[in-house]
Structure 1
Amino acid sequence: MSARATVEDYYEALRRGEPLYPYFAEEPDAVKFGVGETLAGYDAIAEGLREQTRTTTDWVVESDALRVVERDGHATFSDSVRMAWTDTDAETDYDFDTRWSGTLERRVTAGDDAEEWVFLGMHVSVAYEREDE
């Protein structure tokens, strides 16, 4: 799977409510910045994403401008994404225009020489429009 296909597969897993933590590098230096949280280290990312999956539903993820650049075992990506979901604990719907960016690394799966891409870092932020513009 290419780096681009990995990003697209991550979006699809989010829509389906599937586990997201397997997409991240199992390293203490991995990081994920979300709309409302900072998760540093694989353990924190895994726990945060498990909680997100447990407490949210009805995900909409509409990619508008995905760009992926692969170079020598690493890749970067950026995208504009409409993201919406329901928080089942708070019984609240959210809908944001967001910006995504991050880095991935190509890894060889032990035993079968298959390659996969994992996120080393991901940043999701809300696009902010100033009122004075």
Structure 2
Amino acid sequence: MTPEETVRAYYDALRAGEPLAPFFVESPATVKVGIRERLVGYAAVANGLREQTRTTEDWTVESRDLHVVERDGAAAVSDAVTLSWYDGEAFAERTFETRWSGTLLPSDDGWAFAGLHVSTPTELDAGGDS
């Protein structure tokens, strides 16, 4: 599987409510930043993703601008993604326009995320200043 196929398979697994931890490098250095959390280390990432899968359903994942670049044995990814899901704990639909960036490394099964960052733009971002 290529890095791009890995990202698309991650989106498919999210939609289907399948386990997401296998898409991450099993390392204490693995990092996943989500809309509301920062998880450091594979164990924290795996636990956070299991909890997410347990408490959410009916995911929509609409990729709009996926870019993947392979270089020096690694791959960088960026995307603009509309995310929607049902939050079973809050009994509410959630929808966000998100930005994704990450790094993938070769693994026994193809490629895996060493880091993944998902964020939402803020009003400050709208002006183009950083």
Q: Same fold (TM over 0.5)?
A: yes
CA distance in 2, matches of 1:85, 1:53: 11
For 1:27, what is the secondary structure of its paired residue? Answer: coil
Aligned length: 127
Q: Under a length normalisation based on structure 2, what TM-score does the superposition of the two structures give?
A: 0.93
Deviation string 1:86-116 (CA, Å, 9 cap, x unpaired) is 1101111110000000000012x2xxxxx51
Is 1:102 the counterpart of 2:96 in the alignment? Answer: no
How far apart are the structure 2 equivalents of 1:132 and 1:100?
17
Question: Are residue 124 (structure 1) and residue 118 (structure 2) matched?
Answer: yes
Map of 1:88 onto structure 2: 88
Q: Deviations over 1:11-43 (max 9, x none)?
A: 000000000000000000000000011100000
Per the alignment, in what secondary structure is the counterpart of residue 10 of structure 2? helix
- Aligned counterpart, 1:32: 32
List aligned pairs for 1:11-90, cutoff 5 A: 11-90=11-90
RMSD of aligned residue pairs (Cα, Å):
1.5
TM-score, normalised to structure 1's length?
Answer: 0.91
The 3-state SS of whatever aligns with 1:100 is strand
Moved over 3 A (4+): 129-133
The gaps in structure 2 that reach 5 residues or longer are none
Show the counterpart of 1:112: none
